[in-house]
Amino acid sequence: MKLIRVGATVLNQLPLDWDGNQRRITAALAQARARSVAVLCLPELCITGYGCEDAFHSPSTLAHSWRVLTELLPATRGIVVSFGLPVMHHGAVFNAVAVAADGRLLGLVPKRNLAGDGLHYEPRWFKPWPAGTVDRWEAPDGVGYPIGDLLFDCGGVRIGLEVCEDAWVATRPGAALAGRGIDLILNPSASHFAFDKHVIRERFVIEGARAFAVTYVYANLLGNEAGRAIYDGGALIATGGRMVARGPRFSFHEHHLTAATVDVDATRVTQARTASYQPRFSDEADVVSVRFVFPPAPLGDGPGVGGDTEAELAAPEPWESAGHKKEEEFTRAITLALFDYLRKSWSRGFVVSLSGGADSAAVSCLVALMVRRASDELGPAGLAERLSYMSSGWGDDPRAIVAELLTTAYQSTDNSGDVTRDAARAVAQAIGATFFELDVQGLMDGYVTRIQGALGRQLTWEHDDLTLQNIQARVRGPSVWMLANIKRALLLATSNRSEAAVGYATMDGDTCGGVSPIAGIDKAFLREWLRWLERSGPLGLGPIPELAVVNVQQPTAELRPPEFAQTDEGDLMPYPVLDAIERAAIRDKHGPQDVYRLMRSRYADRPAREVFGWVERFFTLWSRNQWKRERYAPSFHVDDENLDPKTWCRFPILSGGFVRELGDLRALVEQEEG
């Protein structure tokens, strides 16, 4: 047996945070050395941070990246490490991986396949490296290093790389590397979270290890790195087609090492006895060979070669197999994103306008769950250390911490009812939030009186319905902004994705905020999540039964007088219908007629005229309200069907509004009915 210890570290980095990123990498290297890791994979662009955007074109960014790399090199003595950073070569910037060992840089492998769809925009900043090309890169210190499609022979162990997207394409580099007798493939990644996406990652890691007869080591970023994307971590190590180690996902720690002891001879034997394996011989110009002495690999501290811990370390986390996985993922993703947004923006808490309805209750509960998760994982002392810029003295009671970090306000008008008032108070008390009641009817009356005087007429619900609804929502904004300013806190907007699709939100009202935690999730799922949170809740945290007072209500903006019996679905359409139309029209790019046919099939028991009304309303409101989506506060990406125009779904602010298409559809429906 030739046993070596391999590891993958997930890192919670921050774009352009040179000192912080270097400190976390240094700590990760020290941890790897303490656990006898000989080969360590770090995430993609871990030195700069992945989300630097146009700063990747700045000479200063490139210079500081190189400087940090050179300062990290001494810490690689006795270990082979992959670092991610941008480099400029022949007038182009490349997303590169620098491989170092024993204190010196061996060479650089640029990414071949750039991520350019969805929220990714890599082709804006980087050039893809041409396959099979090797060149010489002159570093800022004047020393030349090999760059290109390289593999590294370190003490007789061959190491190759697939950089994130390289493993997601049909022609993945691993196939060519396999013919070169590779022992290890490292995959430094920055793979954002989306529901169930980790299943695909696990598949290509296991399949890569099996098809290429190698040990495959995958490292990812962790946390809310740059504001919108969430990285779930989840390091993976597979050997010979078998998963031998999984790291935790959604951890609140700044870094986490996943390690395994693997047998290089075992994968070589697999190659030798595989009939389809054909070694590829060449002049080895693309091989960087160095002397390297592998330290003794411990047998008792890793699963790769067997042992009692193998099943435990290779198994998914308990919450992933406990049922309600989507609800669990949503909870963990948003709470981690909120925690990182809080501390990375140096904010001192959150403020929520708590209406007593589903959206604001969900946002408030997510903050409370954030505190619970962080406190459970980091401990009170660790949590205080991570938020050390605040003056704490919270002790170890999560409710006291929630009271310090979360301020809520119920803002009533004459149209508000006791049901929502009592619900807001009950939710705030249940989670331990600071709670205020503010009467804003006088503010609304003042605006109405001024405009009536200017116009010389009375405003009425018959003629000025939308105006009178919106002013109520807007007068609630200044008070919560004031609370946020006083507390130096983040105001959280409470609008969801279903509302964003049709513009069912008041700009400068419920869209007020510095970040919009639930704007990436649809209302139907949000209501399911609240019912789950009421009855069972996240594994290890339990339910919040008091949410029953929210869940029994029909969603309502409560902006019209009580006699109108206003509900969201009455104003729009049933939320499941709205979400189904949105996916067909926006995700799948179907036009009005095709969407109508799909909805007629799904809702065959409803009249054709009603289904047409839903489709017409959606396309009309979608086109009319793109300007609102452009103005939403930054939202968290949790679903690869996002409506955020800055990361996923582009649409013109001004358009023809599907007038011809809807006219054709109207004629078709009239013909059906006739």
What pLDDT digit, counting tens, does each position of 489-508 carry?
999 999 999 999 999 999 99
Residue 625, Cα to own-chain centre: how many angstroms?
25
- Give the separation between CA 341 and CA 51, rounded to whole angstroms: 14
Q: Write down the mean pLDDT value for the chain.
A: 93
Query: Maximum Cα–Cα distance for the chain, whole Å?
Result: 92
Q: Categorize the per-residue pLDDT at 307 as very low, low, confident or very high, splitting at 50, 70 and 90.
A: very low
Q: Categorize the per-residue pLDDT at 392 as very low, low, confident or very high, splitting at 50, 70 and 90.
A: low
Describe the crossing of helices 325-344 and 523-535 by its angle, rounded to 10 degrees. 100
What are the DSSP E strand ranges found in 323-444? 350-353, 406-412, 434-439
Q: Categorize the per-residue pLDDT at 283 as very low, low, confident or very high, splitting at 50, 70 and 90.
A: low
Residue 42 clears pLDDT 50, i.e. is over it: yes
Residue 522 clears pLDDT 70, i.e. is over it: yes
pLDDT at 312: 47
Task: Find where tokens 């990123």 sit.
Answer: 21
pLDDT, average across residues 511-515: 95
Domain annotation for the chain: domains and CATH numbers? 3-316 (3.60.110.10), 323-551 (3.40.50.620), 567-674 (3.40.50.620)
Tokens of 563: 């006699």
- Give the separation between CA 515 and CA 533, rounded to whole angstroms: 23
Tokens of 371: 């505190």
pLDDT, average across residues 60-69: 98
pLDDT, average across residues 296-309: 55
Alpha-carbon Rg for the chain, nearest whole angstrom, is 28
pLDDT, average across residues 236-242: 94
Per-residue HEC secondary structure of 209-234 comes to HHHCCCEEEEECEEEECCCCEEEEEC
Q: Categorize the per-residue pLDDT at 662 as very low, low, confident or very high, splitting at 50, 70 and 90.
A: very high
Lowest mean pLDDT among 387-401, 416-430, 449-463, 623-637: 387-401
pLDDT at 313: 67
Of 391, 397, 287, 307, residue with least CA distance to 348:
391
pLDDT at 281: 72
Q: Categorize the per-residue pLDDT at 396 as very low, low, confident or very high, splitting at 50, 70 and 90.
A: confident
pLDDT at 569: 84
Q: Categorize the per-residue pLDDT at 272 as very low, low, confident or very high, splitting at 50, 70 and 90.
A: confident
Helix (H, G, I), strand (E, B) or coil at 472: helix
- Helix (DSSP H) and strand (DSSP E) numbers for the chain: 22, 21
Going by their DSSP bridges, the two strands 80-89 and 92-101 should be labelled as antiparallel
pLDDT at 271: 82
